[in-house]
Structure 1
Amino acid sequence: MNDTVEIAIASYPDVWRASVHGLTDMFAVAERYDRQQSAAQSRRLRVSHYETDAAYMVSKVFDTHPSEREGRPVAVVLPPAIGEELPFGERMGGFPEWIRGHHRSGAIICSACGGASLLAQTGLLSGRSATTHWLHGETIAKRHPDIRIDTDKMLLDEGDIITAGGMMAWTDLGLRLIDRLLGTSVMLATARFMLIDPGAREQSFYSKFIPRLDHGDTVILGIQHWLHGTDFRGVNIVVMAERAGLGERTFLRRFQKATGLNPTEYYQRLRIAKARDLLEQSDLSIEKIAWASGYEDTNAFRKVFRKIVGVSPGEYRMRFSIVGRQGDETEN
């Protein structure tokens, strides 16, 4: 196991530098707590900053671990913008392609607030849902009508892409990444030290879906990216294998080897992850959430949800909802 985990932060023109340095400090705190909690198996959390030069090429300008050999970042963060205009257009230089390249290599791509505009410019959000600051939602939606902008959500985590809402949502994004990369106990210790309320993020008390994206099998990674952006309709192993250009047996073997799960298990966990976000951040009924998560049979949805999460959808909502109690929360 590689004991160095690298997070790359895009310091694009007009980026809010307080968030760049705040994230860097947050990850340093997380590294310290990981070292305290897992002395024998602690990981180095490497943070790098990237800017564009005079020729608009992207290059590294800061590295918390400069003596380490170059590796592939496991996550790329696009922080909020502070300028009068959203990050978009030619002045972003090589950032869109740089981001796409890391996504192809298996990195988690993350944005906070206005950083969603730069993420939208890459095309990676096409056909997907994303959140951003409510002031920016209409602008981004008009510029990119193929993206479903939902500014009611604090954070949307689709496995390979995470978007966070308001100006200070970089703190939520940072804690989510720490939770995924270093674990819940390190995330909670970091939140306590920085006096940040982890709130509903304690959902990770229950087992959660953390997809493996850095396995190196580009064909399977392409299927994962496609699955994360689907509407959960009409997807099965035959469809996935055909899309991958592989025979079913070969596809099953390679998918299991790359992700650690068979395609059916992976897809179920992906749908349940979607349902958990809806239970936390919406007032939709259990039936509507089941449908939105790809389940036509609500009873089947409840059974799968309980099997994977450990509690019923209603119990989960009562514990983690951030929108108040709903009429169907007592349902199992």
Structure 2
Amino acid sequence: MSAGSVAVVVPGEIDLPSWDLYEISIPCTVFGKPQSDLADPWYELRLCAFGEQSSGDPGAGTGAGLALRTGHGLDGLIGADTVIVPSVPDPCVEEGAPLPPELIGALREAHAAGARMVSLCTGAFALAEAGLLDGRRATAHWMHTAQLAARYPKVTVDDSVLYVDDGDVLTSAGLTAGLDLCLHLVRRDLGAHVANQLARRMVVPAHRHGGQAQFVDLSMPVTDDAGLGPVLDWARAHLDRPLTVAELARRAAMSPRTFYRRLQRATGTTPLQWLLNQRLGRAQALLESTDLPVEKVGELSGLGTANNLRHHFVKQIGVSPREYRRAFSRTA
């Protein structure tokens, strides 16, 4: 087992409103602090800056009184055993602003040289732009997976997991899911015992149950189809009763076929899946805010018996209702 070298990509200039330092801090914490009692040698960490300060005396200024002294430019990616892209600036995700071509070229070169490529959160956009996710399964923060899938159709995007290990290319969901993936890398490199001990020191679970599906907002996407609003509001107010597409279509004064087509266009999902999402959302709210028995939660959300509620929770959200309540309950 060998730790090896880890190169983390950071920008030459960090604009805090558009760049999240949290993802940068995760690999620095996991790989940058020697843990010689767990493994010696530990990882060799190098920060590699691109942009205005990536040559000469590389360093990244945050504009908020903070600075990263990197010591390396993008040439530092070559020869690293692992290359991590923590995230990309918000405009590159939200507005489709182009990523620096020198960064994309360096990522391709590092991968061709044999580096294990890793992205945290929106760093997946950089790996996808470099073509390193083509034909692969990948993930990112659930708020950005739809954009990732639309922009890079050759990538199979999975928004239900905390991370995806595809051998030499790994991707994680957002924020703390990056920590899950980094601990997974330690587990791969140095074994479960070392990863578990490191997790204990960081006061985090060595492995979290479920995926990011339990954090996804299941509420209806915004729609400008005014004709659907009243009937969908009515449906959400009557989730505890049997509802059919035919009944909803009748209330909307549409044929079932027209209703199906307009709801799918407005929400991106089918009427039955929309109903299931609303019922799961209601069950999540009840589990978070009440002490009602699971059987009652199933009844009020329209999911029926406790067994049926558990079936849909495990399938769609990745954890059981009781596990979800333990994690998210707001009741005393």
| TM-score after normalising by structure 2 | 0.51
> 1: CA distance between counterparts of 2:143 and 2:204?
24
Match of 2:131 in 1: 123
Q: 2:168, 2:57 → 1: CA distance?
A: 23
Paired residues, what number? 195
> Structure 1 residues 184, 116: closer, same or farther in 2, change over 3 A?
same
Larger-Rg structure: 2
* Alignment CA distance shift 1:109-1:193 (3 Å): same
Q: Does 1:198 align with 2:198?
A: no
Query: Which residue of 2 is the match for residue 8 of structure 1?
Result: 7
Q: Tell me if 1:323 matches 2:327.
A: no
Structure 1 residues 46 and 177: CA distance shift in structure 2, 3 A: same
Q: 1:180 aligns to what SS in structure 2? A: helix
CA RMSD of aligned residues (A): 3.3
Among residues 161, 168, 173, which one is paired with 2:169 in the alignment?
A: 161
Q: Return the letter of the residue paired with 1:145.
A: P
2:128 and 2:152 in contact (8 A); partners too: yes
Q: Unpaired runs of 5+ in structure 2? A: 60-68, 210-316, 321-332
**2:45 match:** 47
Partner residue, 2:83: 76
CA 58–185 in structure 1, closer or farther in 2 if over 3 Å, else same: farther
1:22 is aligned to: 26
Aligned to 1:47, the other structure's residue is in SS state strand
- In structure 2, how many angstroms separate the alpha carbons of the residues matched to 1:144 and 1:64? 33
Structure-1 residue corresponding to 2:37: 36
Deviations for 1:74-123, whole angstroms, at most 9, x for unmatched residues?
A: 11111134635429654424111111111111111011111111111000
> Where does 1:1-332 land on structure 2 (aligned, <5 Å)?
5-12=4-11, 14-29=18-33, 31-32=34-35, 35-38=36-39, 42-54=40-52, 61=59, 62=69, 72-81=79-88, 83-86=90-93, 89-199=97-207, 323-324=318-319
Deviation at 1:169, TM superposition (A): 1.5
**Equivalent AA in structure 2 for residue 158 of structure 1:** D
Q: Distance in 1 between matches of 2:56 and 2:183?
A: 26
Over residues 39-85 of structure 1, what are the superposed CA-to-partner deviations in whole Å (9 max), with x where a residue is unaligned?
A: xxx114111112223398899655599xxx99721111111346354
Deviates more, 1:107-116 or 1:19-28: 19-28
Inter-partner Cα distance in structure 1 for 2:122 and 2:56? 19
Structure 1 spans left out of the alignment, 5+ residues: 202-321, 326-332
What are the Cα deviations for residues 201-245 of structure 1, in whole angstroms up to 9, with x where unaligned?
9xxxxxxxxxxxxxxxxxxxxxxxxxxxxxxxxxxxxxxxxxxxx
Counterpart secondary structure, 1:94: helix
In the aligned structure 2, how far is the partner of 1:113 from the partner of 1:126? Answer: 17
2: CA distance, partners of 1:142 / 1:20: 26
Is this contact kept in 1: 2:9–2:50, CA < 8 A?
no
Shift of 1:198: 1.5
Q: Provide closer, same or farther for how the CA distance between residues 28 and 51 of structure 1 changes in structure 2, counting only shifts above 3 A.
A: closer
Shift of the 59–11 alpha-carbon distance from structure 1 to 2, 3 Å rule, reads: farther
**Secondary structure of 1:20's partner?**
helix
Of residues 17-26 and 86-95 in structure 1, the stretch that sits farther from structure 2 once superposed is: 86-95
| Cα distance change, pair 63–186 in 1 and its aligned pair in 2 (3 A) | farther
Q: Is the 8 A contact 1:10 1:76 kept in 2?
A: yes
Question: Are the aligned partners of 1:52 and 1:93 in contact in 2 as well (CA < 8 Å)?
Answer: no
1:101-152 deviation per Cα after TM superposition (whole angstroms, max 9, x unaligned): 1111111101111111111100011111111111111111111111111101
User: Who is 1:263 aligned against?
Assistant: none
Separation in structure 2 between the aligned mates of residue 181 and residue 173 of structure 1, nearest angstrom: 12
From the superposition, tell whether residues 122 and 7 of structure 1 become closer, same or farther in structure 2 (CA, over 3 Å): same
TM-score using structure 1 length: 0.51
Structure 1 pair 21–72 and aligned structure 2 pair: CA distance change class (3 A) = same
